[in-house]
Chains A and B, each alone.
Chain A
Amino acid sequence: SAVISQKPSRDICQRGTSLTIQCQVDSQVTMMFWYRQQPGQSLTLIATANQGSEATYESGFVIDKFPISRPNLTFSTLTVSNMSPEDSSIYLCSVEDPRAEAFFGQGTRLTVV
């Protein structure tokens, strides 16, 4: 299993500002995943982050809005840029082990006012 730590756990931000969310894993992993969970909704994949290459974004998500860094095999960041109230969501980091079992962080609860 993998232990994932996300920071911050929650934040309240002003519209127009940006927030960077950090994800730290206790083991080296090839791919890390970032999800968004809007209020009352299921999880939606934002992007897949590979170490040493640019992240791969899902339809509806763009790098300018959600830039991702992956500097090494245990760490990644997701930035939510130029925030609006519609960005209020829980953002979750995830990794998978070789048996394709996914592990998730506790999430970052973002409120944009």
Chain B
Amino acid sequence: DAKTTQPTSMDCAEGRAANLPCNHSTISGNEYVYWYRQIHSQGPQYIIHGLKNNETNEMASLIITEDRKSSTLILPHATLRDTAVYYCIVRNSGYSTLTFGKGTMLLVSP
């Protein structure tokens, strides 16, 4: 079973920030938070991951609460091409398997 809880769907206006929440209240100390997205008819794409510090890359920012029980993925300026299902996944580092939940369907509108 997935160890995360995400809203089923969210809407965002083009050009605005998209903030996608994820609850992972049972996360353990050696587990990372990973985010992937799946655009329609494509394979999932890695976005970002973090352990406890906030992370930023060219795609997004990841904000993890101090107690690590929840996190938020931020797409600072959403575009129509960001419309996708976003998956928040908790896993150990290294070669443990990915368990995909249902994710959040983000719809970016003009």
A positions within 8 Å CB-CB of B: 4, 30-31, 33, 42-45, 48, 58, 92, 94, 96, 100-107
A31 to B95, CA, bound (A): 8
A43 to B42, CA, bound (A): 12
Q: Are A43 and B100 in contact (CB under 8 A)?
A: yes
Note all chain B residues with C-beta closer than 8 A to A106.
42-43
Report if A105-B43 is in contact (Cβ < 8 Å); known contacts: A42-B100, A42-B103, A43-B100.
yes
Note all chain A residues with C-beta closer than 8 A to B99.
45
Report if A45-B43 is in contact (Cβ < 8 Å); known contacts: A100-B93, A101-B49.
no
B positions within 8 Å CB-CB of A: 32, 36, 41-46, 49, 87, 91, 93-95, 97-103
Note all chain A residues with C-beta closer than 8 A to B98.
33, 43, 45, 94, 102
Q: Are B42 and A42 in contact (CB under 8 A)?
A: no
Q: Are B95 and A102 in contact (CB under 8 A)?
A: no
A104 to B100, CA, bound (A): 13
Other A-B pairs beyond A92-B43, A92-B44, 10, CB < 8 Å? A42-B87, A43-B98, A45-B99, A58-B97, A94-B98, A96-B95, A100-B93, A104-B43, A104-B44, A106-B43
